[in-house]
């Protein structure tokens, strides 16, 4: 459930920044990732792993931050790497007459899906083993 909430935050912020504000995709995905990380930390600490509150919040937040900075670096690299291919694939899959802005938006979201999936396992496993290690 926390992952689903994080995904809504991530994709929502990404599309808001791209569509309404016009921020470049690589920057928008980094900001949206950061918003999802804050959401996930709070939901995990207070709902998924309430027993994890035996660790001081500062220490736990620092551990979560370190894991997610590594995740962000990997995710940004993957996003930048696959973005052109995903935009091209979207252009091939969408019907003729689809606007360039729609192809771009869908291709960028496809690239974001790939990047999220690549980093998902890393973030989950390392946070579970290290950040929330006090939970049985």
CA distance 105 to 90: 9
pLDDT recorded at residue 77: 97
6-65 pLDDT, tens digit each: 999 999 999 999 999 999 999 999 999 999 999 988 898 888 877 777 888 898 889 988
Please check the confidence at residue 85 and state whether its pLDDT lies above 90: yes
Largest interatomic CA distance in the chain: 57
- Confidence at residue 103, expressed as pLDDT on a 0 to 100 scale: 97
Q: To the nearest whole percent, how much of the chain has pLDDT over 70?
A: 100
Domain borders along the chain are 2-131
pLDDT, average across residues 72-96: 97
Contact 76, 83 (CB under 8 A): no
SS3 string, 104-123, reads HHHHHHHHHHHHHHHHHHHH
Q: What pLDDT, on a 0 to 100 scale, did the predictor assign at position 88?
A: 97
Q: Give the predicted TM-score (pTM) of the model.
A: 0.86
């Amino acid at each position: 459930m926390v992952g689903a909430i994080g995904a809504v935050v991530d994709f929502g912020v990404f599309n808001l920044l791209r569509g309404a504000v016009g921020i470049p995709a690589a920057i928008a995905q980094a900001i949206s990732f950061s918003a999802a990380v804050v959401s996930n930390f709070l939901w995990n600490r207070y709902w998924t792993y309430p027993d994890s509150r035996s660790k001081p919040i500062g220490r736990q937040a620092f551990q979560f931050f370190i894991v997610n900075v590594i995740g962000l670096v990997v995710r940004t690299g993957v996003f930048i790497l696959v973005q052109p291919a995903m935009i091209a694939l979207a252009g091939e899959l969408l019907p003729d007459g689809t606007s360039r802005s729609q192809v771009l938006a869908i291709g960028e979201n496809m690239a974001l899906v790939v990047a999220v999936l690549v980093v998902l396992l890393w973030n989950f496993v390392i946070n579970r083993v290290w950040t929330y290690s006090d939970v049985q």
